[in-house]
A and B are shown apart, each in its own frame.
Chain A
Amino acid sequence: MERPESVPDRVLIDRARAGDEGAFRDLVERYEPRVAATVIGMLGAGEEAEDVGQETFIRLYRSLDRFRGDSSLGTYLTRIAINLSLTALKKRKRRISRFVSRDETERDRPEASWDPRGELERKDDIRRVREAVARLAPNHKTVVVLRMIDGYSTREAAEILGVPVGTVMSRLARAMERLEKEMKESDDG
């Protein structure tokens, strides 16, 4: 009996192209962690992320015939997931802007120093850093997710986003500065 994890992507893709639903399902199971990390990192957990996650794999299925393997399947899926997440964020922004005033989302906050805490409060820190990521501008959030959550190198992130390496690096530095500031503020708050 063939173990799905031992079958190369290329073989599963060929089988899925030929209509083998089981092979496609194996691909979904194989890449679910990566797509989940990207999509939930971008959108937070919930129905919206679930829907974007499903749509990412549906788009993959529709484009199987066109997938030539120039990039790895993981990178290809990440690119789809990032694009769909950015579209979802734009829709969300349009929805929210109808109800929330700008004053409520962009408050001036005082400077403070962030004191990293022990293991007991680690879960709370994780929750706070996730919330801080959710508040980042989409282009900053994207580089944080690709570099710090998905584990892509700066060069790979630049290729996925189609921007220069220097742009990824400066966005990442600004995003990390923002996260650090938010963590300090919520420590004090």
Chain B
Amino acid sequence: MDDRELLIRYRDGDLSDGELARVEERLNSEPGLRSVLQSLEEITTLLDQGAAASFEPFFAARVTARLRQEKTLAPVEGMYEALRWIFARVAVACLVVVLAIGAYSALDGGYGGSMVDSVMGLPEATLETAFALGG
């Protein structure tokens, strides 16, 4: 423990009887230690005197106004959260359905020539089928 820690504990009244006697003896004989204690006292007093006791006037009113504002916004934020939750689940369900239809189409084999056409369920596009579609 260094001298400052010792002096802080001395000011706090946190020393044992033996430690207290030794510190007081040193304070009587060591001007340097007395100077450190004096600085410690002075800075402690300045910190205490300089402590802010309040924010700007009407702080409590500003806090309660902010709280009211947050309460007003809370239901809207709750609604957004609920919509986001629903959308995420609907999107996953749609993806599963699309993949299932694609897999069925691909395995069915009754559609176009390429794998992409099969997955998409598209008929094979040839000149004949184009003419047929045109009537």
The interface of chain A, by Cβ under 8 A from chain B, is 21, 24-25, 28-29, 32-33, 36-37, 40-41, 45, 49-50, 53-54, 57-58, 61, 113-114, 116, 122, 125-127, 129-130, 133, 144, 148-149, 153-154, 169-170, 172-174, 176-177, 179-180, 183
Q: Is B67's CB under 8 angstroms from A180's CB?
A: no
Q: Is B67's CB under 8 angstroms from A169's CB?
A: no
CB proximity to A under 8 Å, residues B36-79? 36, 38-40, 42-44, 46-56, 59-64, 66-68, 70
In the complex, which residue of chain A has the Cβ closest to the Cβ of B44? Answer: A148
- The answer to whether residues A28 and B52 also contact, given A148-B47, A154-B12, A172-B8 and a CB cut-off of 8 A, is no
Leading 7 A-B pairs by shortest Cβ distance: A40-B52, A173-B4, A126-B50, A28-B60, A129-B46, A148-B47, A173-B5
Q: How far is the CA of A140 from the CA of B92 in the complex (A)?
A: 51
In the complex, which residue of chain B has the Cβ closest to the Cβ of A62? Answer: B70
Q: Is B9's CB under 8 angstroms from A169's CB?
A: yes
In the complex, which residue of chain B has the Cβ closest to the Cβ of A49? Answer: B55
Q: Other than the known A36-B55, A58-B63, A176-B40, what 17 A-B pairs have Cβ atoms closer than 8 Å?
A: A21-B64, A21-B67, A24-B67, A25-B61, A25-B64, A29-B60, A32-B55, A54-B59, A54-B63, A58-B70, A116-B38, A126-B46, A129-B46, A129-B50, A170-B5, A173-B2, A180-B40
Q: How far is the CB of B38 from chain A (nearest CB, A)?
A: 7
Does chain A have a CB within 8 A of B14? yes
Q: Is B46's CB under 8 angstroms from A25's CB?
A: no
Q: Is A54's CB under 8 angstroms from B66's CB?
A: yes
**B: number of interface residues (CB 8 Å):** 37
Q: How far is the CA of A169 from the CA of B9 in the complex (A)?
A: 9
In the complex, which residue of chain A has the Cβ closest to the Cβ of B49? Answer: A126
CB proximity to A under 8 Å, residues B64-115? 64, 66-68, 70
Q: How far is the CA of A54 from the CA of B68 in the complex (A)?
A: 13
